[in-house]
Structure 1
């Protein structure tokens, strides 16, 4: 199903892809964007620390840099596209275009409901893209890229952001904080670190993030550390103390307490659960 250069772009029917995947898919960090559109059924996926369910005529987006996982063999039909930023930029796209698609940012709303007409357009475009990709892969780059950008524009037309707050400054601060969190989580664990990078006071950052997300920056940081640790527990053979050091916590006892606070079990018990599954 996957052609050459699949690290740049590929498209598959979800019902065919799921047959090739060994479940559960553990927490992994995406280095490219994943876009799912369902034509029937439902799909459940955890993105970051939140779990989302989508149904017919809905999309789910995992932005590059985000951690995701899923456990179930869902009964569904639709399309899954995986693509690099470079695929959007080229003959028909520019850097500025990426900024228009908020759903490709780590702070965007990953769940998008399409109205009936938009769903029909998106389905036709994805069907055409799949046909071109199946025939000659990215040898049909011009056709695939132009239709794909058109499809993203259709989705963007009905996209609704997570926050409808009129506190635009607080929204901007929160979004920038969440982007920094993805890049700096292994080294920056203090609210003061992020406030300094954003050139605001820790108190200002705390108020802004709480107002928009309902969670403190400290909780966002803690959850991101635990999520990063889960990726390493699944994907590496590092010891617990080595994983603690990888996420920037050199006190393995504190790391274990923090992990248990959010997961209900210690990192050692979590790894044993992985080995038994």
Structure 2
């Protein structure tokens, strides 16, 4: 059994029931780059199911409000804010206000591989990972410049197939975000926060293989008791609670995929006892895996 498949952009329709792939955008390299005004969310089906993507994506808010869950944490994105996420992280689009304005954009690593873009992106993602928050509240100067760049990008994307020029605009955009971050106070992590960061990284890559606090403690060369105390101080949650949250997010993402039975979902998660998986899921969600699946539209 494989990990949860990540959606490629031309497979995004089930996420919010928006048929991007059915538009003429497909001929413009939808899987490499895409930008669209947020007004399209008026047609979206929310909340979405938990999902992954093969691309980096970000949302810029000019007016209104939206809410996204990243792994098990919820983030509010308001006016003059950006939320930027790399591939692979589980995300759930929760809701938005009807008047929301701004831009959605996604792009692949390959699209920015040649030139400074990938370095800019890595610097931005490193900062976001350290503070464990993918949102940025922009100052007035950067907000104005970024908004103008996005307007130009959206206009160009709608009118032409000039992907090279769009790539250059994207480099400029990422450069502006990195420039904004460089002016912010440096993030100095405590010992507890450093261990918590390493712990979250391990969970992202190992949750389908490792479920016990001791297994993660061994990888971090600390005792299970020390890991629990450290994570509690840094996050307010125990290591066990964070592991369980991550496991449930994986389960929900898998249950949204019609090709998997409930038994297969348990196996993908490394749980051989399907009854145990069902009890665990119901204990923390209030419903069984089968009941959760019935509430999802799997007709796509």
Which interval holds the TM-score relative to the shorter structure? 0.7 to 0.9
Q: Could you list the per-position Cα deviations for residues 19-78 of structure 1 after superposition, in whole angstroms to 9, with x for gaps in the alignment?
A: 564444211123322211111111122222122222211122233221122244532110
Check 1:68–1:137 CA distance in 2 against 1; reply closer, same or farther (3 A cut): farther
TM-score, length basis structure 1: 0.86
1:117 pairs with 141, 148, 163, which one? 141
Residue 26 (1) aligns with residue 26 (2): no
Q: Could you list the per-position Cα deviations for residues 248-269 of structure 1 after superposition, in whole angstroms to 9, with x for gaps in the alignment?
A: 1111121112111221111111
Residue 261 (1) aligns with residue 286 (2): no
Q: Distance in 2 between matches of 1:245 and 1:218?
A: 20
Deviation at 1:146, TM superposition (A): 2.5
Q: Distance in 2 between matches of 1:80 and 1:247?
A: 32
1:147 pairs with 161, 167, 172, which one? 172
TM-score, length basis structure 2: 0.80
- Name the Cα RMSD after superposition: 2.8
Contact 1:30 1:62 in 2 (8 A): no
Q: SS at the partner of 2:195?
A: helix
Residue 58 (1) aligns with residue 74 (2): no
Q: SS at the partner of 2:146?
A: helix
What is the 5 A alignment of 1:103-252?
105=129, 108-134=132-158, 135-157=160-182, 168-252=190-274
Q: Distance in 1 between matches of 2:47 and 2:125?
A: 30
Q: Which residue of 2 aligns with 1:82?
A: 106
Which range moved further: 257-266 or 61-70? 61-70
Check 1:159–1:258 CA distance in 2 against 1; reply closer, same or farther (3 A cut): farther
Q: Distance in 1 between matches of 2:43 and 2:55?
A: 20
Residue 14 (1) aligns with residue 45 (2): no
Deviation at 1:154, TM superposition (A): 4.2
Contact 1:106 1:179 in 2 (8 A): no
Q: Could you list the per-position Cα deviations for residues 232-253 of structure 1 after superposition, in whole angstroms to 9, with x for gaps in the alignment?
A: 1111342222211111111112
Q: Could you list the per-position Cα deviations for residues 139-176 of structure 1 after superposition, in whole angstroms to 9, with x for gaps in the alignment?
A: 32552233222232244246689xx7x65222121111
Check 1:207–1:86 CA distance in 2 against 1; reply closer, same or farther (3 A cut): farther
Aligned residues: 273
Check 1:137–1:113 CA distance in 2 against 1; reply closer, same or farther (3 A cut): same
1:44 pairs with 51, 55, 67, which one? 67
Q: Distance in 2 between matches of 1:151 and 1:70?
A: 26
Q: Distance in 2 between matches of 1:97 and 1:71?
A: 25
The runs of 4+ residues in structure 1 deviating greater than 6 Å are: 158-161
